[in-house]
Structure 1
């Protein structure tokens, strides 16, 4: 029996959620199996699995207390020297915050007994670190399955399934006891042949044409982060049991991460620039100030705000004028304009060809051939059509109060214009104050402003917080206000989100989990182009991949143009933005492996237009 593609889609494609769940769960199972194999391996070659000492040795090895000998053996039958014993005690002292009261008392007694050896060891270790430093590496593997939308609205939705692998190679190098260098190499790989979304993947040339940046192709590595910090003030000595270096009083330079608020829904990406932090970011209060360029920007969404939208056609790409004429085909005013332009083109072509034939006959004494007349007619028709579209662009701009310059429409007005092909990273100044008591509560206050022309539409402040009502239940909330009045809806937009969560998923604690439900309300103009969540990113920053022949048009612009073309535009109607619920679940089946599932539902834009529900599943493994 011949099975058609339509039958296959009906059998297997009706429920995308179960489809995503099956594939990503399978990937997670592979991760889990690999991770289990690594952690279950015998840490010392000469300790038999059935030995009574195996569990004790494995536990000590996993905690980093006992390393064994260079040849991979434990040599349990060999007497331990006082120096070797002092090494074990030193490691236990470094993990003091992980020990219970009884264990701490034992370690204190041992430290007194081996004081001389510990002192000698401390000197020797310090000298070694000064010469060679210390390097930690963490490899992050993430498999993700998510729906990607060409059109997110339920009445015209268009989507595909994106299954991808992201690999991040993180290196933390403690150059000395004050200086640390961080780097992160990153690559994405498609696992089902679909293009993988990356915020920085595409750039635009001086004509506004899209191209793929070097280093962002499938399987290509690029440097996502590279920055160095210096710890100033009193020397910090309580960070030796963590791989990330000092946490107090830091200055840094390079490309570093910046996350706004508790969730990072509004922005979670990288800055290229400088940063200074006063206080401890782990616990207590700390003030951070940063200046640089925000790099993780959804440029398809933000670029047209200041770079403009072409009014005329270019090759196979439609311009805004043609798109509006097509969108308004049911509007009598647009129909009348279309007829006027079409009749004008026909009359111009008829007169132009007739005049050309007459001139040819007068100069040669013979009539041009049919082929010559046909070729001239086609060329003249194209020329007349382009002139008609240019005329239509001027008419539409005048009717709708659009600011037009050099053939581009600028939706944010004449004060917010830049040329295509310039540096696409946005200059930003940022400051935040955070006070944190881990697993109890935290409070954030922050402000940011874009620098240059974009600063005229982007200057915001926000507050965020989380509070643990019980050790398991916690609530969180955020508020962001853009103080710039935007022409889009003639308002100073704001956004907020709040949620209730149970449990805490800690990738270092096997069996930990978290369940949560958030409500997100985001007016157009408070999404800054790079969210921590792919579902949030698509709802708040939706881009039409094809709108009446135009490629990659932000919904907040297209929807306004659509209503103006239809004659249904109202200045009292809000456009763009999103309001929706986001259900989240996260589980750590084993140390170093986290599985997450997110579901966005009951989503609408600010005008009440319904968006499709979204599902995302991911599994992330951390290998150290």
Structure 2
């Protein structure tokens, strides 16, 4: 929009705001149709010219320049009528990011829209399976996040999710995936209760990043460099289910799976600037039985360490996990390199990573965030058959990529290949591509 047209619209917004109108700009004369609007806005302190004393009304106005005008209008909102105030609120919402960069809080707008805020995302995805003779998958998902601000220190967060299998019109479900309350104690300490997100593993949570997180409680500390979290609860997503005595639905459970076993966890990380070091600890409750099914979780203890080293646009990363309870098939590690960063607000930005992964069944407790299904080839005990299926160890390469196509629209792709399985047939390559939208 030409600056002179934009300022004419803003002048209508400030009609009735008192000021002595005197035009200070050498390139705006009394013969110009917008002379009065520019003069009034200058007198009110809403617009400023360039250092050479000109207004340059023929130029396009940038978002940053308009955000400056909105910020100055916000300082005069007590003089606006209801209609003008509503228009200003819309402008403040549209230019919220630019106002934040100017150090202007849109607190009045936040109060006016109430204590509830919404956002969401949607995904359309295709997955080519790594499993022999398994059908490919074509699905969609939409998530709606709602946040209710209880007071300055407390909020309640919820997430509604619908997932749909486009290859089966009857397969669709809607659920409340998350609901938790968060209370902050000052700037650095917080406590959460309820069904909440949790992430284990680098590369976005390859070890665990289930949609429904975990049910439990946690306390955290974060000062910007040092981050510490500890909690207790049950994970809600994993390939490892209960072992039952028979195929019957009400059959006796011989061994509980990951989803039904209480666990204690602790996480910590420190950002040194030149590198970031992290550590994880997980302890599943119950008594471990060495004659039990090795990969099942009662009494098992795992720890992990990870390291990220940024080098300009590159990032070198690696991670190691160890199950201290088992005597075999008890470690997992990966190492890789990434480049770039896909920014949701900047079309054309992208990131690309490649990693080598070596994962034992006993060090993986399922529920990872990767879209390809390579890790599902690891050893597990069938719920309906009392025999082992899958691999005890799996090595493979994995490539992940994201590119921002438009503002709030990203293309995501993965390719897992060159897999080598122990005690099982080698899986096929697995790839996936998805379109993702934020709103």
> How high is the TM-score relative to the length of structure 2?
0.71
Q: Distance in 1 between matches of 2:209 and 2:305?
A: 15
User: Contact 2:347/2:407 (CA < 8 Å) preserved in 1?
Assistant: yes
The reply to whether residue 286 of structure 1 matches residue 227 of structure 2 is: yes
C-alpha change, 1:587 and 1:80, in structure 2 (3 Å) is closer
User: Contact 2:316/2:336 (CA < 8 Å) preserved in 1?
Assistant: yes
Provide the alpha-carbon RMSD of the alignment.
Answer: 4.3
The reply to whether residue 601 of structure 1 matches residue 417 of structure 2 is: yes
Secondary structure of 1:535's partner?
coil
Shift of 1:164: 0.8
Instruction: Specify the alignment match of 1:502 in structure 2.
Output: 339
The reply to whether residue 221 of structure 1 matches residue 174 of structure 2 is: yes
Instruction: Specify the alignment match of 1:259 in structure 2.
Output: 199
Q: Distance in 2 between matches of 1:496 and 1:287?
A: 23
Instruction: Specify the alignment match of 2:160 in structure 1.
Output: 185
Instruction: Specify the alignment match of 1:433 in structure 2.
Output: 268
Instruction: Specify the alignment match of 1:38 in structure 2.
Output: none
Instruction: Specify the alignment match of 1:557 in structure 2.
Output: 388
Q: Distance in 2 between matches of 1:174 and 1:514?
A: 34
Residues 471-620 of structure 1: matches in 2 within 5 Å? 472-485=313-326, 490-491=327-328, 493-535=330-372, 538-541=375-378, 557-558=388-389, 575-607=391-423, 609-620=425-436
Larger gyration radius, structure 1 or structure 2: 1
Of residues 97, 101, 106, the one that matches 1:98 is 101
Deviation readout 1:309-368 (Å, 9 max, x if unpaired) = 53xx87xx9xxxxxxxxxxxxxxxxxxxxxxxxxxxxxxxxxxxxxxxxxxxxxxxxxxx
Deviation readout 1:404-460 (Å, 9 max, x if unpaired) = xxx98x9xxxxxx4479xx9533111101112368x532211100111256545310
Higher relative contact order (CA 8 A, sep 6+): 1
Deviation readout 1:578-605 (Å, 9 max, x if unpaired) = 1100112210122211111101100121
Q: Distance in 2 between matches of 1:513 and 1:598?
A: 14
Deviation readout 1:179-222 (Å, 9 max, x if unpaired) = 1211110110122328xxxxxxxxxxxxxxxxxxxxxx733311
Residues paired across the two proteins, number: 368
User: Contact 1:170/1:184 (CA < 8 Å) preserved in 2?
Assistant: yes
Q: Distance in 1 between matches of 2:219 and 2:182?
A: 9
User: Which protein has the bigger strand share?
Assistant: 2
Of residues 444, 460, 471, the one that matches 2:278 is 444
Q: Distance in 1 between matches of 2:149 and 2:65?
A: 25
Q: Distance in 1 between matches of 2:284 and 2:372?
A: 25
User: Which protein has the bigger helix share?
Assistant: 1
Instruction: Specify the alignment match of 2:307 in structure 1.
Output: 465
The reply to whether residue 145 of structure 1 matches residue 126 of structure 2 is: yes
User: Contact 2:233/2:264 (CA < 8 Å) preserved in 1?
Assistant: yes
User: Contact 1:601/1:614 (CA < 8 Å) preserved in 2?
Assistant: yes
Q: Which segments of 5 or more consecutive residues in structure 1 lack a partner in the other structure?
A: 1-42, 68-78, 108-117, 195-216, 237-247, 318-406, 411-416, 545-549, 560-574
